[in-house]
Structure 1
Amino acid sequence: MVTILSPEVSRFVRAVAPDSDAVLAEMDAYADEEGFPTVGPEVGAFLRLLARTTDARRIFEFGSGYGYSAYWFAEALPDDGELVLTEVDADELELAREYLTRGGYDELARYELGDALETIDRYDGPFEVVLIDHQKHRYVEAFEAIRPKVPVGGVIVADNAMTAGPIQFEQLLELVEGADPDDVNEDTRGIADYLETVRADPDFETVALPLGEGIAVSYRVRDGMS
């Protein structure tokens, strides 16, 4: 797996990021102990900043795990805001509830057990911020499902846009540059298809940022086709 930031740069980014509270520190320790993949504090702090700069009132997550990214988001929401967590693992979702409750954010959260792509059908927009962080081969489906519910000025963030356990970075690079390499696995192809889709959408402007395992940030610039 490709290393995006050197250990020294990662330390620097963490050192200048907003301080985490005791619950977040515990969540980081849990991830380290269990080997649980999270967006990490560098991306978490950036997600919270995005929520603040968009004046987000409602946030939707495709894949929430035990609530790590949701916890970062929660502090940026107003008291009457809404944060929708989706997760297929009941134990992880219950752990997310425990952490968010301890942080004082339980009233903001909606805990949805099951397929995120089925869950989003039950929610109307708008969602000012969306995080896509579930099965990589379904990222395009997630984008298409949430797209009509993101207003102008809203953002969609895709995690693992550059790397993750199964992602083949060299093949991904070739794909985004227009080549068609052999032996590309489903996850790598899924990320490449997602990036192609959002970059081709005239209503969104997309950039890739080398934080965590890479994130693609798509900002809605206009309200065109729905």
Structure 2
Amino acid sequence: MSTSSQELQANWTRSDQYHNAHLIPEDPILSTALQNSDDAGLDRIAVSQSQGKLLHLFARSVQAKRILEVGTLGGYSTIWLARAVPQDGEVVTLELEEEHVKVASKNFALAGLSEKIKIIVGPAAQSLETLRPSFDLAFIDADKQSNAIYYQHAKRLVRSGGIIIIDNVVRQGLVADTSRTDERIEGVRALLRAMKGDEEVDATTVATVGEKGYDGLIFAVRK
């Protein structure tokens, strides 16, 4: 018996919500941050609750003190990451859109994390040129067409033993369907070509399903 895409999505969402209810306590600050983004008309493309918690745990697992984020949006994932670094740690987050920066700044203040987060405004590829190596973790979640560029910079900026996480790399399995193409899909394919045979990292793709649908991330360790 075939299952419709709507039924699949309902099942994935229900599963996420069930597990989250047991493993992730309700957080009024994060809920308000999402509501502030909605109220400002930002696209609903932030990581899910479970994905945010996963980023937080990744950061804690490598005892990250400095984190690089490419793509701030309303700052939901940034808050998860900033909560993982010590008091003297820092998250540097790059964002192009001034409206996104405005909303994110409001959310960082709400979370009491403004002093731990530095926002750099402008095209990420240009902002990355100004940064020096010193990061323990990089999270890339911005325009997919530039993924390969962001990856090369992240590889330069993340320490040996640090990790690079790149979001939205499965895209409902369409990246692997050679009959399908668009700018985002081609951006992921360019990234994969750039990573193929790269001896400076050890990486894998982890496909995910949940309230955000069917997608996935690349997890890479800098050698």
For Structure 1 versus Structure 2, the TM-score category normalised by the shorter chain is 0.7 to 0.9
Match of 1:68 in 2: 76
1:168-203 per-residue CA deviation (whole Å, 9 max, x = no partner) reads x454123xxxxxx24521210111221333343222
Match of 1:214 in 2: 216
Match of 1:166 in 2: none
Q: Which runs of 5+ in 1 are unaligned?
A: 164-168, 175-180
Q: Report the structure, 1 or 2, having the larger strand content.
A: 2
Find the aligned partners of 1:82 and 1:14 in 2 and give their Cα distance.
27
Match of 2:97 in 1: 89
SS in 1 for 2:132: coil
TM-score (normalised: structure 1): 0.84
Aligned pairs, how many?
A: 210
Q: CA RMSD in A?
A: 2.2
Between 151-160 and 11-20, the greater mean CA deviation after superposition:
11-20
Match of 2:176 in 1: 173
Match of 1:195 among 192, 197, 219: 192
1:21-40 matched pairs, under 5 angstroms: 21-30=27-36, 34=41, 35-40=43-48
* 1:53 counterpart = 2:61: yes
Q: Which aligned segments of 4 or more residues in structure 1 are displaced greater than 6 angstroms?
A: 1-5
* 1:117 counterpart = 2:125: yes
Q: CA deviation at 1:121?
A: 1.5
Match of 2:15 in 1: 9
Q: Which runs of 5+ in 2 are unaligned?
A: none
1:6-61 per-residue CA deviation (whole Å, 9 max, x = no partner) reads 22322233224332521101123345664521011111000000110011111111
Are 2:73 and 2:101, in contact at CA under 8 Å, matched by a contact in 1? yes
Find the aligned partners of 1:154 and 1:20 in 2 and give their Cα distance.
30
Q: 1:19 to 1:196 in 2, by over 3 A?
A: farther
TM-score (normalised: structure 2): 0.85
Percent sequence identity is 23
Find the aligned partners of 2:26 and 2:84 in 1 and give their Cα distance.
13
1:51-103 per-residue CA deviation (whole Å, 9 max, x = no partner) reads 10011111111111111110110111111111111111112112111111121
